[in-house]
Amino acid sequence: MAIAIGAMSSCTVFNKTPTYKVGMDEKDFLKMNPTAVISNLEGPQKTYRVVRDDKFYLLATFEDEQLIRLEEKELPAYWNQNNFQQQEEKKDKPIY
């Protein structure tokens, strides 16, 4: 069973949509998603979070280094506002 999750855009033809499969290796997932961060370590399971764009993120759960669950969730409205404020603060700081 393959699960393909991708955002539709005008550049879809040029960007390959990652394909995730239940049972895929954790190492392969991390190669495809170098920005993944550990979201949860619970017992033998590891959950990684990958921010897809300004509206959605993925939660990928692995057990014994195999993908067992993949969820796409919507980012809360305040997430984008907080990120915008952080970017603006970085612009205002001088670089030495």
Compute the mean pLDDT over every residue in the chain, rounded to the nearest whole number. Answer: 78
Q: Is the dihedral of CA 17, 33, 65, 71 positive or negative?
A: negative
Q: How much is the pTM? A: 0.65
Three-class SS of residue 33? coil
What is the token pair recorded at 35?
Answer: 């920005």
Q: Average pLDDT of 32-47? A: 94
Domains of the chain by residue range: 2-92
Q: What is the CATH number of domain 2-92?
A: 3.30.1450
Q: Average pLDDT of 66-82? A: 83
**C-alpha–C-alpha distance, residues 96 and 90, integer Å:** 13
Instruction: Report pLDDT for 45.
Output: 96
Q: How confident is residue 10, by pLDDT bands cut at 50, 70 and 90?
A: very low
Q: Average pLDDT of 47-64? A: 93
In whole angstroms, how far apart are CA 10 and each of 7, 15, 58? 10, 10, 21
